[in-house]
Amino acid sequence: MTTGVSFDDLVTVATVGVSRKGFSVSELAGPAAGNAGATDAADPAAALLDAAALLTVARRAGVRPVPCAARAATGGAAGQPRGARSERELPATAARLLRRLGHADQAPGFAAGDAGLVADLLGAVRDAGCVASAPLLPELLAAAARTRALRPAVVPVLGERGRWLAAQRPDWRRAVTQETAGRTDDGGPGGDGAGVSAAEQEIWRTGDRDERRGLLASLRRRDAAAGRELLAAGWAKETGEDRAALLGMLAHGLSAADEEFLEAALDDRAGPVRDTARRLLGRLPGSAFRGRAAHRAAGVLRAERHAGRGRLVVTVPGDPDEAAVRDGLSTTSPVPGIGPWAWRLIQVLAAVPLAGWTARLGPPPAEIVRLPVANDLALYVRAGWRHAAVRHRGSAAELSEWVLALLEADSETRVNWPQGAWVSDTALAAMLPATARAERAAALLAAARVDDGMGAYALSAEVAGIPAPWPAALAGAVISVLARSVARPVLPPLPRALLGSAARCLPADGAVDYAAELTLLAGTCPRDWSALLYGAAETVALRRAFLAELR
């Protein structure tokens, strides 16, 4: 043997067994060569182990680095040099508080259940002009990849470093690209000026659906016509799913110039494409689509004098014709318990903005909603109006008048229709401006009984929907609900349902220290549930500390 025994040779012999294969060593490979004589001459098994030990030590001690191009070490391989020093990083103390509030301090990763709270905190980071600190980025990106709801909060605080990091991992990159696609401000794949750059053409041809959506969105914001033309050019070759996903991007920079294309999409083979086209056409003032809807609605509802008082008379629409079906009216009711004729009425009313009725019928919304309706059809009319209120935006002042009137009209009745037919109070109230919404919620809380289990659910959902931080009136109302409950031996349903959102949404930066108020209440309530109040107080206190760090 001229090259000497290698370690692999020894492994082969040892695996099969010296007793079967036999072994003798004369020379050893590599740096151990000089020591072959040190091996045991008497026992081949010992000799093998001796040789293996020599070669193992030689190999461990002789580990060499892998040669690489020097530019690998200066960022050339992992991307462009990063670390823009102009961006202000979240202070380390604030980062620690964020991890604690998101329960990322005990086990790695932000818990999905804390997504709302974490999103609020990240919003504050963005508003303070900070970006997430580097050690925090992987956990934030992992959370964004896992929890879609967190993406709008995570992406704006990534900063240059975070965007670079996200590009290093497919799952993170996808989460960020998808989010960028849906956003209205700057971002998305490169390119500027009018027209489609070569790089964009390439992405459009080879990218996945999310990348193409992102590209189309950014192109639409820059040059709406070019975006529409790009989509139209390959329209026939796209799959139904792609057509629906891409068509939705026309929402960016939507204008009358898009009407023709959208109108054609009403005849698309794929249902989702037709739905998207209807949604977009409905938002286009002066479109033929809206004209047709207004025409259909005009024949359905008229005001008249009856027995000396005003009332509304409904002409139930007949079976929809072909054009009406094309515009989205269905012949059968998808909602159990609602007959076809009632469904037709609701649909026709839902298709036109409420502002039209104010103009057509004369009196202000509050009076219109109060008018009696012939043949006991009032509930169906209001059902249609509720749909119209959440579907069409318009003048905010007029819309909120309508919403308040509709909420008032059914405040006493509890309508038990299925979800698809009746827009809930919560969804309707969400159309109000934030202050009006908070005032309404505060009034409801002030009137609510703390142990009404059914009401607690709906009311707490409504309160939780009001964006943080809550206005003082609402915060006060929530605290007062808790104060009304401290004498109870068990925590009643309403405060129990409110506590979670209270911890997250009570103002944490104003003159009133709600953490102190909660702690005070916790000191007076029964021990069995004081921990819940202490927990909420702690969350508010940590949020206060966090916001203070940002200033």
Using CB under 8 A as the binding rule, the residues of this chain from 532 to 551 that contact another protein are 534-535, 537-538, 541
Residue 299 vs 523, nearer CB to another protein: 523
Tokens of residue 348, six digits: 């026709």
Residue 1 vs 73, nearer CB to another protein: 73
Q: Which of residues 413-442 bind another protein (CB under 8 A)?
A: none
Largest separation between any pair of C-alpha atoms in the chain: 125
Tokens of residue 30, six digits: 């590599």
- Judged by DSSP in three states, 89 sits in strand
Q: Which stretch binds another protein (CB under 8 A): 54-62, 208-216, 333-341, 379-387?
A: 54-62
Whether 19 and 10 have beta carbons less than 8 Å apart is answered as no
Residue 55 vs 431, nearer CB to another protein: 55
Residue 13 sits in the site that holds another protein (CB under 8 A)? yes
Residue 151 vs 387, nearer CB to another protein: 151
Site pattern 64..103 for another protein (x: CB under 8 A): xxxxxxxxxxxxxxxxxxxx--------xx--x---x---
Cβ within 8 Å of residue 322, ≥6 positions away: none
Residue 523 sits in the site that holds another protein (CB under 8 A)? yes
Cα–Cα distance, 369 to 367 (Å, whole number): 5
Residue 20 sits in the site that holds another protein (CB under 8 A)? yes
Residue 50 vs 210, nearer CB to another protein: 50
Cβ within 8 Å of residue 370, ≥6 positions away: 405, 409
Residue 453 sits in the site that holds another protein (CB under 8 A)? no
Question: Residue 58 Cβ, how far from another protein at the closest point, in Å?
Answer: 9
Q: Which stretch binds another protein (CB under 8 A): 17-25, 180-188, 319-327, 372-380?
A: 17-25
Whether 347 and 339 have beta carbons less than 8 Å apart is answered as no
Whether 312 and 382 have beta carbons less than 8 Å apart is answered as no
Site pattern 169..208 for another protein (x: CB under 8 A): x---------------------------------------
Question: Residue 542 Cβ, how far from another protein at the closest point, in Å?
Answer: 8
Question: Residue 211 Cβ, how far from another protein at the closest point, in Å?
Answer: 21
Q: What is the DSSP string of 377-424?
A: -HHHHHHHHHHHHHH----HHHHHHHHHHHHHHTSSS-----TTTS--
Of these, 36, 52, 368, 378, which contacts another protein (CB under 8 A)? 52
Residue 286 vs 489, nearer CB to another protein: 489
Q: How many residues bind another protein (CB under 8 A)?
A: 75
Of these, 4, 6, 14, 225, which contacts another protein (CB under 8 A)? 14
Tokens of residue 375, six digits: 């043949």
* Phi, psi of 187, deg, nearest 5: 145, -170
Radius of gyration, alpha carbons of the chain: 34
Question: Residue 82 Cβ, how far from another protein at the closest point, in Å?
Answer: 4
Residue 133 sits in the site that holds another protein (CB under 8 A)? yes
Residue 62 sits in the site that holds another protein (CB under 8 A)? yes
Cis peptide before 334 (omega within 30 of 0): no
Residue type, 195: G
Question: Residue 39 Cβ, how far from another protein at the closest point, in Å?
Answer: 11
Burial (CB count within 10 angstroms: exposed 0-12, middle 13-18, buried 19+), residue 66: exposed
Residue 103 vs 311, nearer CB to another protein: 103
Distances, alpha carbon 210 to alpha carbons 173, 202, 242, in Å = 11, 14, 10
Residue 48 sits in the site that holds another protein (CB under 8 A)? yes
Other C-beta atoms closer than 10 Å to the C-beta of 161 total 18
Residue 8 vs 192, nearer CB to another protein: 8
Residue 286 sits in the site that holds another protein (CB under 8 A)? no
* Residue whose tokens read 């497919």: 170
Question: Residue 498 Cβ, how far from another protein at the closest point, in Å?
Answer: 18
Cα–Cα distance, 396 to 489 (Å, whole number): 45
Pairing mode of beta strands 309-314, 301-306: antiparallel
Residue 49 vs 313, nearer CB to another protein: 49
CA dihedral 428, 431, 436, 441 (to 10 degrees): 40
Of these, 63, 198, 397, 487, which contacts another protein (CB under 8 A)? 63
Of these, 25, 522, 525, 547, which contacts another protein (CB under 8 A)? 522
Tokens of residue 307, six digits: 């027995």
Whether 533 and 482 have beta carbons less than 8 Å apart is answered as yes
Tokens of residue 503, six digits: 């911890």
Residue 54 vs 403, nearer CB to another protein: 54
Residue 56 sits in the site that holds another protein (CB under 8 A)? yes
Tokens of residue 117, six digits: 């709270």
Of these, 5, 36, 137, 445, which contacts another protein (CB under 8 A)? 137
Distances, alpha carbon 457 to alpha carbons 425, 451, 453, in Å = 13, 11, 7
Cα–Cα distance, 40 to 233 (Å, whole number): 81
Q: Which of residues 211-270 bind another protein (CB under 8 A)?
A: none
Residue 169 vs 292, nearer CB to another protein: 169
Residue 84 vs 233, nearer CB to another protein: 84
Question: Residue 69 Cβ, how far from another protein at the closest point, in Å?
Answer: 5
Tokens of residue 64, six digits: 């060499």
Of these, 33, 53, 270, 461, which contacts another protein (CB under 8 A)? 53
Residue 134 sits in the site that holds another protein (CB under 8 A)? yes
Tokens of residue 374, six digits: 């012939």
Of these, 102, 151, 164, 191, which contacts another protein (CB under 8 A)? 164
Q: Which of residues 305-334 bind another protein (CB under 8 A)?
A: none
Residue 81 vs 113, nearer CB to another protein: 81
Residue 193 vs 489, nearer CB to another protein: 489
- Quote the crossing angle between the two packed helices 198-206 and 209-222, to the nearest 10°: 150
